[in-house]
Amino acid sequence: MRNHHTHSSSSFSLIIFLFLFFISFSFSTSKLEPAKPKRKHSVSAILVFGDSTVDPGNNNYIDTIFKCNFPPYGLDFKNKIPTGRFCNGRLVTDFIASYIGVKENVPPYLDPNLGVNELISGVSFASAGSGYDPLTPTITNVIDIPTQLEYFREYKRKLENIMGKQKMEKHIEEALFCVSAGTNDFVINYFTIPIRRKTFTIEAYQQFVISNLKQFIQGLWKEGARKITVAGIPPIGCLPIVITLFSGEALTNRRCIDRFATVATNYNFLLQKQLSLMQMSLAHLGSKIFYLDVYNPVYEVIHDPRKFGFEEVFSGCCGSGYLEAAFLCNPKSYVCPNTSAYVFFDSIHPSEKTYFSLFRSLRPIYDSILGCF
């Protein structure tokens, strides 16, 4: 397990760290509550792995500057608490947990105050800034994917102490596993730092990332996971920070950047193909692996915002909306008067309302998993 209490003090590293805040991706919505379905199959818990899209606050407990446990984050969360979610409210996984009936919000595994019931019904091991490429989390000094898997093994040992080995194994078999990462590998790592570009073409790097993801999914399966959902990456060329940094018309003509769109759609195609092959090879053993399309639902919101009740697409609610995220979006920052009018809360991460819209588009997948009728 890596030591998370080391960081570089060099000016170059500081510049890189500053930029990192401008490139991750997250989802959410709070006053909107998903209706509970009628279902044939029960889910015992929700267990989550990945990056800021699904990190409810694990980074609060490690030595990284990649945090957001301060206002205005959490502005629309219950009691306006800045939990460490990169959002004004809840994440997609919170809505999923509520929908499948296991809990209202998914807590971070590293929270030392977690009660037994909270632990049993599910946690997130995710860490904002992480990715499938082993190099990606070292840039931000966050929790890498193999360590998240190790934390899951530790979690299983805790459950075994509580309920015994046989019940624990049954509990894990009936749990829903959610995996969401990949954006940081491309935006922070490949397109920002030259190390990987010297070794990989973009096509080869996509295969490299998917190879690491495949290894992780196999690790989950070996540990008892049988219901696994894996999210693709969103339209990264439409993130406000990406438009600001990579567009030649960032101030005069803000719009999605096509070359990033191509990278994302090609990666998602390859990922979907790989997951289908894994599902075919494991189906006879009782495994279900589902690909989650997040690209098209978010793209639709961005390109037809008024249909979904949004007004502002290419800038975030916090600050200027062009650059601010993490510590640059802070208690002194300007905050828009109506968060629900914005697709993005900061320059990287969607607002809660966008996350709820995404959840609704993914709901048929979860209905399939639950055997809803």
| pLDDT score recorded for residue 10 | 41
The whole-chain average pLDDT of the chain stands at 90
Per the annotation, the verdict on 171 as an active-site residue is no
Catalytic residue among 4, 349, 351, 357: 349
Q: Tell me: the pLDDT tens digits for 328-348? A: 999 999 999 999 999 999 999
Catalytic residue among 26, 28, 52, 121: 52
Catalytic residue among 346, 347, 351, 357: 346
* Distance (Å, whole) CA 185 – CA 188: 6
Q: Tell me: the pLDDT tens digits for 195-243? A: 999 999 999 999 999 999 999 999 999 999 999 999 999 999 999 999 9
pTM, whole model, 2 decimals?
0.89
Indicate the residue type of 304: D
Q: Tell me: the pLDDT tens digits for 93-122? A: 999 999 999 999 999 999 999 999 999 999
Q: Which residues of the chain have pLDDT under 70?
A: 1-41, 372-373
| pLDDT score recorded for residue 36 | 64
Per the annotation, the verdict on 349 as an active-site residue is yes
Per the annotation, the verdict on 28 as an active-site residue is no
| pLDDT score recorded for residue 42 | 82
| pLDDT score recorded for residue 284 | 78
| pLDDT score recorded for residue 43 | 93
| pLDDT score recorded for residue 16 | 42
